[in-house]
Chain A
Amino acid sequence: MKRWNSYFAPFILIFSFFVSWQVVAMIIAMPFILPTPLQVIAKVWDLKDILFLVHLPATLMIIVTGLALSIILGVGLAVWMNLSKTAEKAFYPILVSSQTIPIIALAPIFVLWFGYSIWSKVAVTLLITFFPITVSTFDGLRSSSKELKELLLTMGASKRDIFFKLNVPTALPYFYSGLKVAVTLSVIGAAIGEWLGAQSGLGYFSRRMMTQFDGAGVFAPIVLLSAVGISLFLAVVVLEKITLKWRKSE
């Protein structure tokens, strides 16, 4: 009963949101500016072949490559900053200032550097997802218990033991929090990248539809982008549940 209740409120809210959208859009009756939700769904169905077989794979490729590089580089940098105070002092300010750069302004430069290849879009995705992963992993590594470290030392533990048996398990929940932020941002990063210069992808397709005043065509790929973001987020939640079994019993 309680479980049903907890889904009931958001369902009602979303349902009434779509109903009002439908009604308002029908009153305005200018589908090139505001299509109705039903028109958007019909459009997704109409364009299913090109959306699912051409543009979705292109965008997924960017997201997966960008995220993978971001995890490798972000975790690597976090570990390095954890091991060396000098590295922390050198990189931390750069890391923070990298987030103050408006990435939309930077994206055209990536297009200049990497052309219309996948790498200009991957660069945007990487830049936008790198920060949450690095910072959360670094904070996680730093937050391990001093008492436990001393206890391990009294057992004769090496630096390596302390890193793998204490620091890594402590940092894991923090890493997942960072990853959850990063996967949702990765969708935005890929879309921005495609907006500014691409020959395929959901962001590119949405923009092309805009030039054709096809309102429903603009929204259709956005629905898919949002679905990708939600699925990635859920995937991380599932992964977290599997690898952090001990948290359930807390």
Chain B
Amino acid sequence: MSKASLQFENVSFSYENGHEEKEILNTLSFDVQNGEFVSIIGPSGSGKSTIFKLITGLNQPANGEIFINETNYSNRLGKVGYMPQQDLLMPWRTIIENAALPLEIQGMKKREAYDKVRELLVEFGLNGVEHKYPSELSGGMKQRISFLRTVLSGSNVLLLDEPFSSLDAITRLSMQEWLLTQWQKLKLSILFITHDVDEALFLSDRIFVFTESPVRKFVEVNVPLERPREIRDIHTPAVIEVKEQLIEQLRMGSTQ
């Protein structure tokens, strides 16, 4: 019995750009199952981030319905955890104060919130930094804190928007492995935006590909890998075949 954590049903959306209207989504449907790791991949400007703005409730669809944990909320703000591309930690808050932000907004008492943050810091192997300011941490560390803050939103559905794109290759790899560990431990449903095919293959159960604009339907690809995975697994022949297929589709999409 797998339940859908996230569901789009015939969702349409357009941006108004001056008096010109640009259609991004046209009756798009998809779902993310409970505990699933799904990546969205596509050329930049194709509307990947639009999907996140719709799910978080920053934007409203023109038509169609969005379900979070099988509920169609009228106000989706505060219902999912969203991790932006830049870490967006507040420079005037220490790490513990930054991480406690979503709890504070939910109205939790400060002491209780800090206890909860400390617990997670230990669990994530990040203890010792709680009283530092973000400017004292490395890029990888800041992204870990940003992820921790996202987890503390309390939702089982997390949206990650190219979180590792600004990190160097080595840090990115260790962050990917770290993310998979946390995802399995916390039993989360993750929707992950990336433009890196290897990253999508290593992390995801399924990959959605943007091939048209406006989007009517994603091309959906299953990653033929078991878990737990290691980075060298993405060099097995079955995965390489999928990778070539993905690149082909992306190329077709961008020449359209």
Contacts and interface: CB of A to CB of B under 8 A. Distances in A.
B84 A249 contact: no
B102 interface: yes
Contact of A155 (B90, B94, B102, B136): B102
A151 B102 CA distance: 10
Interface string A156-168: 1110010001100
B78 A154 contact: yes
A162 to B, nearest CB: 10
Interface string A29-62: 0000000000000000000000000000000000
A250 B91 contact: yes
Nearest to A243: B92
Contacts of B79: 156
Contacts of B153: 155
A156 B77 contact: yes
B71 interface: no
A244 interface: yes
Contacts of A165: 90, 101, 104-105
A153 B82 CA distance: 10
Interface string A139-157: 0000001011011111111
Nearest to A156: B78
Nearest to A151: B88
Interface string B64-84: 000000000000011110101
A147 B88 contact: yes
Contacts of A145: 88
A154 B86 contact: no
A151 B86 CA distance: 11
A116 B147 CA distance: 63
Q: Name the prevailing secondary structure of the B interface residues.
A: loop
Q: Name the prevailing secondary structure of the A interface residues.
A: helix
B58 interface: yes
Contacts, number: 61
A148 B90 contact: yes
Contact of A154 (B80, B94, B135): B80
Contact of A161 (B93, B94, B105, B133): B105
Given A165-B101, A246-B133, A250-B91, A153 B77 contact: yes
Nearest to A173: B92
A156 B91 contact: no
Contacts of B93: 169, 246
A169 B98 CA distance: 13
Q: Which of A151, A157, A244 has the most CB of B within 10 A?
A: A151
15 contacts: A150-B58, A151-B82, A152-B105, A154-B57, A154-B77, A154-B78, A155-B77, A155-B102, A155-B105, A155-B153, A156-B79, A165-B90, A165-B101, A246-B92, A246-B133
Interface of B: 56-58, 77-80, 82, 84, 86, 88, 90-94, 101-102, 104-106, 132-133, 135-136, 153
Interface of A: 145, 147-148, 150-158, 161, 165-166, 169, 172, 244, 246, 249-250
**Closest A-B pairs by Cβ, 4 of them:** A156-B78, A154-B56, A154-B82, A155-B102
